[in-house]
Amino acid sequence: MSHPSTPTRRSGSRPLGWADVTPRAAALNRRELIAGAAALAAMGAAPATAKIAAQPSAFSTDVPPNTFEEITSYNNFYEFGWDKSDPARHAHQLTTDPWAIEIGGMVERPGSYDLADILATAPLEERIYRFRCVEAWSMVIPWIGFPLAALIERVGAQPGAKYVAFTTLLRPEEMPGQRAGGIDWPYVEGLRLDEAMNPLTILASGLYGEEMPKQNGAPIRLVVPWKYGFKSIKSVVKITLTDKEPPTTWKSLQPREYGFYANVNPEVDHPRWSQATERKIGGGLFAAREPTLMFNGYAEQVAGLYAGMDLRANY
Ligand SMILES: Nc1nc2c(c(=O)[nH]1)N[C@H]1C(S)=C(S)[C@@H](COP(=O)(O)O)O[C@H]1N2
Ligand SMILES: [Mo]
C-alpha cells in the first residue's frame, strides 16, 4: 500500500489526517500559513480564523498532500481571470460572509439556507483526496467538508428527482472575470442524484484545517474526486434538484471536448491531448509523469454507478 498511485480506502486501518501523513510538510505549511496570514493582515484583509474541528476519514488517501502554497497559488477560477495565478491575486475581493444557499426544485423543504446554520450541524470531516484536472495536472488536497448527501437528506429529495444542479455566485462587481466574455456566467455544474449521494461527494468549507481560501472556492464548494476538476464547482449559491440533465458550463462551451460525466478515465483521451498520464504539481521540472488511474483511483467506490454504460460515449 505504499506505491504513490495506491488510492483511497485503506480497509481496516484507522482514519488518517494530514498531520499523520505529512508531519514535516505540515510544519512547513503551518509556518507559510502564518506568514501568509500576517501578510494579509498587513494588507488589511481578514485575519486567519480558528482551526476547524473535523474528524479524519477512512476515505482519505495516504499519499502526502501538496503544500498549502501549491494548493492556493495554482488555481482555476475563471471568475477571477484565466491565468493560474489570477485567483490568488484577485479573489480577496470576494465577500463570503454572510452567505446563503438557495435550495429548490424537486425538494420537500425548499428555501434559502444560511451557510452558518448548515455548517453548525454539518458532520465535518477531513478528506485527503486526489484531485485531477482535465488539463492533465494533479494534486492531493486535504479538504474539510461534509457529505453532500447529508444536506440533500436535510432538504428531502422528491421521488422524481434525478439530477442536482449547482450554480456559482454571480457578482461581477467582485469577480473581474465575470466582467469579461468567454463564459456565459454564472458557472454551472451538475451531477446525477446517485453521484451526488455517493459518500465520496462532499461540500467543502476548508482545507488544511482552515476556512476555505477564496481562490479555492470560499465559502463552500463541491468536491467530486473521481471526476475532472471542472465538475467541482466553487462558491456555490444555488442547488436545484431536477428530473432533467442540467446544463453545465464546459459542456455548453465545447460539447465535443467536455461531457456531462467527466469521469477521470485514462483510456478516453481529450480530443487535443492524452489523459493516460498526469503531471503532479510540485513534482519539479524533471519528475516523471504519473499514470492516471481509472476514476482517479476511486473505482472501488464509484465504478458501480456506471455499470453497463459506455464510458466512451458518456465522456
Ligand atoms: N465557479 C467555478 N468553479 C470552478 C472553476 C471555475 O472556473 N469557476 N474551475 C474548475 C476547474 S477547471 C478546476 S481544475 C477546479 C480547481 O480547483 P482548485 O483551484 O481548488 O484546485 O475548480 C473548478 N471549479
Ligand atoms: Mo480543471
Q: Is the distance from CB of 289 to CB of 279 less than 8 angstroms?
A: yes
Ligand 1: centre distance to CA 234 (Å): 6
Nearest to 312 by CA among 267, 255, 274: 267
Q: Is the distance from CB of 85 to CB of 148 less than 8 angstroms?
A: no
Give the pLDDT mean for 83-103.
98
The ligand whose atoms approach the alpha carbon of 85 most closely is 1
pLDDT of 137 > 60? The answer is yes
Q: The cell 464546459 sits on which residue?
A: 250
> What is the per-residue pLDDT for 14?
77
Residue 288 amino acid letter: A
CB of 79 within 6 A of ligand 1: the answer is yes
Nearest to 291 by CA among 267, 258, 263: 267
CB of 137 within 6 A of ligand 1: the answer is no
At 300, is the secondary structure helix, strand, or coil? helix
- C-alpha distances in angstroms, 84 versus 72, 77, 81, 125, 149? 10, 8, 8, 28, 31
Q: In a 10 Å sphere around its CB, with 0-12 CB exposed, 13-18 middle and 19+ buried, how is residue 39 labelled?
A: exposed
Task: Give nearest CA residue, ligand 1 atom 15.
Answer: 229
Please identify, by atom number, the ligand 1 atom nearest to the C-alpha of residue 75: 19
Ligand 2: centre distance to CA 136 (Å): 8
Task: Give nearest CA residue, ligand 1 atom 4.
Answer: 233
Q: Which of the pair, 141 or 26, is modelled with greater confidence?
A: 141
Q: Give the three cell numbers for residue 95.
A: 465577500
- Model pLDDT for residues 231-273, shown as the tens digit of each residue: 999 999 999 999 999 999 999 999 999 999 999 999 999 999 9
CB of 133 within 6 A of ligand 1: the answer is yes
Find the range with the poorest average confidence among 28-42, 46-60, 137-151, 281-295. Answer: 28-42
Give the Cα separation of 297 and 280 in Å (integer): 15
Q: Is the distance from CB of 220 to CB of 115 less than 8 angstroms?
A: yes
Give the Cα separation of 272 and 154 in Å (integer): 42
Ligand 2: centre distance to CA 224 (Å): 12
CB of 185 within 6 A of ligand 1: the answer is no
Q: Is the distance from CB of 279 to CB of 138 less than 8 angstroms?
A: yes
Residue 122 amino acid letter: A
Task: Give nearest CA residue, ligand 1 atom 24.
Answer: 233
Find the range with the poorest average confidence among 14-18, 58-62, 97-101, 294-298. Answer: 14-18
The ligand whose atoms approach the alpha carbon of 215 most closely is 1
CB of 74 within 6 A of ligand 1: the answer is no
CB of 187 within 6 A of ligand 1: the answer is yes
CB of 198 within 6 A of ligand 1: the answer is no
List domains and CATH numbers for the chain. Answer: 18-306 (3.90.420.10)
pLDDT band at 13 (very low <50, low <70, confident <90, very high): low
Q: The cell 429548490 sits on which residue?
A: 104
Q: Is the distance from CB of 52 to CB of 220 less than 8 angstroms?
A: no
pLDDT of 23 > 70? The answer is no
> What is the per-residue pLDDT for 6?
39
Task: Give nearest CA residue, ligand 1 atom 6.
Answer: 77
Nearest to 131 by CA among 56, 219, 221, 49: 221
CB of 258 within 6 A of ligand 1: the answer is no
Note the residue count of the chain. Answer: 315
> What is the per-residue pLDDT for 18?
86
CB of 80 within 6 A of ligand 1: the answer is no
The ligand whose atoms approach the alpha carbon of 75 most closely is 1
Q: Give the three cell numbers for residue 75.
A: 488555481
Q: Is the distance from CB of 166 to CB of 238 less than 8 angstroms?
A: yes
Q: The cell 432538504 sits on which residue?
A: 155
A 10 A CB-CB count for 294 gives: 17
Residue 45 amino acid letter: A
